[in-house]
Amino acid sequence: MHARKTVLITGASRGIGSACAKAFAKAGYNLYLTCLHSEDKLLSLKKELEQACQISCHTFLCDAGNSEEVSGLFSHISSLDILINNAGISHIGLLQDMSAKLWDNIISTNLNSCFYTAKCAIPLMLAKGRGKIINVSSVWGNTGASMEVAYSASKGGVNAFTKALAKELAPSNIQVNAAAFGLIDTDMNQHFSAEELDALKEEIPADRAGTCEEAAALLLQLAHSPDYLTGQIITMDGGWT
């Protein structure tokens, strides 16, 4: 009997992260899940998935944008097959009104986190002779968004990080890819009014937002993708770009 594969998913208490945890559990993976604050949601998800899917699930409160906390997290992880860098925050507002502290927080959470987790995950994957690192990005990392300069910059950084690290790790049989999502129906978009959401959807050929389950399905596909697929930014946006 083969040992179950393991996946670490950051930002797993809600939205894409939670849907991703469910998709990987149904596929038979053992889980390591993190979030920043919502321990009750994470523990509830753990109980649900362990009972429904007969897998093991370990949960941790961890600020993915803090190198010491990520190092502490990995002290509990002895084996890892897949890393999903999903932790992320957004902010809407003019750049001129933005504090340096808020800028730093967005860059740390969305971009630095990928460095901290990958740095710790790579030795575990090298020991296995294989592994996949999958970063959750955004179409705004490809095109930029007015009023979301810090978010766009962080996701553009994630895309460049993905392409560069993929080249570095390809000889070691570790693949690095990113999923750049368009409008997905998550809590992160609750700051939009119904009118604003309708206007956004009118620009999307599919005429709707994507679901968290669709996003999770793509991330699972990337985890199962051929080893020759690496360094790619896979865009899923309903035909918007």
Measured in whole angstroms, how far is the alpha carbon of residue 151 from the centre of its chain? 14
Which residues are CB-contacts of 223 (< 8 A; sequence separation ≥ 6)?
7, 24, 82, 84, 132, 134
* Cα distance between residue 198 and residue 21, in whole Å: 29
Which amino acid is it at 94? Answer: L
Active site annotation includes 29: no
Check if the beta carbon of residue 241 is closer than 8 Å to that of residue 142: yes
Place of tokens 């020759």: 228
Q: Is 47 helix (H, G, I), strand (E, B) or coil?
A: helix
Residue appearing with tokens 């998800």: 45
SS3 content of the chain, % helix, strand, coil (to 5): 50, 15, 35
Six token digits for residue 167: 């080249």
Which of 29, 32, 151, 228 is an active site residue? 151
Contact 129, 173 (CB under 8 A): yes
Contact by Cβ (8 Å): 183, 209: yes
Secondary structure (3-state) at 51:
helix
CA 113 distance to own-chain centroid:
10
Q: Residues with catalytic annotation?
A: 151
